[in-house]
């Protein structure tokens, strides 16, 4: 059995925790790390690893990966998929709204969810049966 420590949302950790994590990763067994560590987080994780107290841990990083946002077509499929799960049989979003959600979210699903939900609420408030780019714009001012 191999042990692995995975920390999700590690970009939210206090900087002092990075020094403690470095201590945990210092132990080795046959020149291999005793406790491999995977840090997952938002873009500011890289910035946090550049602070002086975090540098010892950053020096032990072997690989990095940054997920890019998806393209507009994938954003549209993602929105359609979630509407299908919710039992909606037709698209609620105009093409301009999908484009606005994609651009506003940078192709990141979590942000697309927030924008789409906010845009649906804005459309409902205006008694509209379809979500427009204007509804997405209104949602973006409320959310971000």
Tens digit of each residue's pLDDT (9 = 90 or more) over 103-137: 999 999 999 999 999 999 999 999 999 999 999 99
pLDDT of residue 33: 65
Nearest alpha carbon to residue 138 among 127, 27, 125, 130? 125
Nearest alpha carbon to residue 67 among 110, 97, 103? 110
Is the predicted pLDDT of residue 79 greater than 90, yes or no?
A: yes
pLDDT of residue 83: 96
Nearest alpha carbon to residue 120 among 138, 96, 144? 138
Q: Average pLDDT of 38-47?
A: 90
- What whole-number percentage of the chain has pLDDT above 70? 94
Of 1-5, 74-78, 86-90, the poorest mean pLDDT is in 1-5
The mean pLDDT of the chain is: 91
Domains of the chain: 5-58 (no CATH), 72-143 (1.10.8.60)
Question: Quick one: residue 28, left, alpha or beta (phi over 0 = left, psi -120 to 50 = alpha)?
Answer: beta
pLDDT of residue 134: 97
pLDDT of residue 107: 94
The pTM score is: 0.69
């Amino acid at each position: 059995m191999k042990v692995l420590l995975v920390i999700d949302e590690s970009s939210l950790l206090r900087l002092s925790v990075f020094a403690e994590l470095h201590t945990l990763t210092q132990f080795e067994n046959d020149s291999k790390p005793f406790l491999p560590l995977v840090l997952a987080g938002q873009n500011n994780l890289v910035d946090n690893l550049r602070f002086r107290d975090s540098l010892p841990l950053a020096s032990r990083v072997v690989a990095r990966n940054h997920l890019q946002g998806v393209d507009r077509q994938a954003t549209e499929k993602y929105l359609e998929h979630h509407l299908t799960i919710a039992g909606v049989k037709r698209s609620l979003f105009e093409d301009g709204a999908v484009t606005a959600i994609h651009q506003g979210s940078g192709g990141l699903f979590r942000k697309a969810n927030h924008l789409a939900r906010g845009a649906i609420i804005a459309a409902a408030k205006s008694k509209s049966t379809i979500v427009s780019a204007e509804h997405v714009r209104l949602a973006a001012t409320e959310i971000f």
